[in-house]
Amino acid sequence: MKPVLWALATLTVGLLAGLLGLLVLRGAGDLSWGFLLGMPAAAGRAGGIWPVLVSTALLVGGALLAVLPLGVGTALYLAEYAQDGRLVRLIRTLIEALAGVPSILFGLFGFSLFVVRLGWGWSLAAGSLTLALMLLPTVIRTAEEAVLAVPRDLREGALALGATRWETLRRVVIREAAPGILTGAVLALGRALGETAAVLLTAGSDLGLPASPLDPGRSLSVHLYILATEGLSEGRAYASALALVTAVLAVNLTANLALERWRRP
């Protein structure tokens, strides 16, 4: 059995390496500082992707800014305060269900609420909030698990010193759960960077440099999608893909390094 498993593992690694190799092979030629920091020309056929990078950062940053307080707050309530009643079980089931909803449905919801009903039009704000809704279940679940994993010893230690429940939560539990919460945030960030359909529907695909959250913008994934489907420039598409993958890897590596240092005193 061992050789078979070895072969399967090798195949997995090989597929990943092949994917990355292809990106580097096809994309590295077009990837340069000029490409990353330049303005696009001819609908992306030439020039750079600077506005796309800015839009992506604002979009994803905004999504995290919205989803983290909401998600972590909900998780703290569920883990610390909620009694195990019918209502809480209903909330948990709904969160689970939310996690299984295809992202395009979040896109349609965000489109009809933010873009149309609230009249924001295609905008980074609409995209961020839509992403936030989509990421909510991930953030809640990982944060709740992290909070529940905090040892009872630590809570009791704080309470035994005269801390109230809230002080214990704020000063000890959240601190101990922080690496787990951060892991959830990184997971969410990765999904936000990769999301295409919901973003296209809510933030649009405008190639201009956004000046405010109510401006539309084009994220890297959307850019990649448009370059590839409209056959504008295969080289630019691969270079954008390489930039996207590099960004995701960089975020993951940085977070892992931070976690490593955090956990090992």
Partner 1 sequence: MKESRPKLETVDLHVHYGGTHALKGVSLKVPDRSVTALIGPSGCGKSTFLRALNRMHDLVPAARVRGRILLDGRDVRRLAPEELRRRVGMVFQRPNPFPMSIYENVAFGPSLFGAAGAELDALVQQSLERAALWEEVKGRLHRDARGLSGGQQQRLCIARALAMAPEVLLMDEPCSALDPGATQAVEALVRMLRQEMAIVIVTHSMGQARRVADQVAFFQGGRLVEVGAAAQVLETPARPETAAFLAAE
Which residues of this chain interact with partner 1, rule CB under 8 A?
151, 153-164, 167, 171-172, 175-176, 265
Beta bridge partners of 40: 47
- Quote the CA–CA distance of 239 and 30 in Å, as a whole number: 6
Question: Of 198, 202, 182, which is closest to residue 138 (Cα–Cα)?
Answer: 182
Q: Which is nearer to partner 1, 58 or 177 (CB)?
A: 177
Q: Minimum distance from CB of 149 to partner 1 (Å)?
A: 13
Yes or no: say if 145 and 187 are a contact pair by the CB < 8 Å rule: no
Length of the chain: 265
- Radius of gyration of the chain measured on its C-alpha atoms: 21
Q: Minimum distance from CB of 74 to partner 1 (Å)?
A: 22
Q: Which is nearer to partner 1, 156 or 234 (CB)?
A: 156
Q: Minimum distance from CB of 152 to partner 1 (Å)?
A: 9
- Quote the CA–CA distance of 236 and 107 in Å, as a whole number: 26
217 φ, ψ (degrees, to nearest 5)? -160, 165
Q: Which is nearer to partner 1, 155 or 218 (CB)?
A: 155
Q: Which is nearer to partner 1, 125 or 177 (CB)?
A: 177
Q: Minimum distance from CB of 115 to partner 1 (Å)?
A: 43
61-81 burial, b if ≥16 CB within 10 A, otherwise e?
A: ebbbebbbebbbebbbebbbe
Q: Which is nearer to partner 1, 83 or 212 (CB)?
A: 83
Q: Minimum distance from CB of 94 to partner 1 (Å)?
A: 25
- The tokens for 9 are 């593992």
Which region holds residue 47: left if phi is over 0, alpha if psi is between -120 and 50, else beta?
left
Q: Which is nearer to partner 1, 2 or 264 (CB)?
A: 264
- The tokens for 176 are 């101990």
Q: Which is nearer to partner 1, 89 or 171 (CB)?
A: 171
Identity of the amino acid at 11: L
Q: Minimum distance from CB of 164 to partner 1 (Å)?
A: 6
Q: Minimum distance from CB of 158 to partner 1 (Å)?
A: 7
- The tokens for 89 are 């079980």
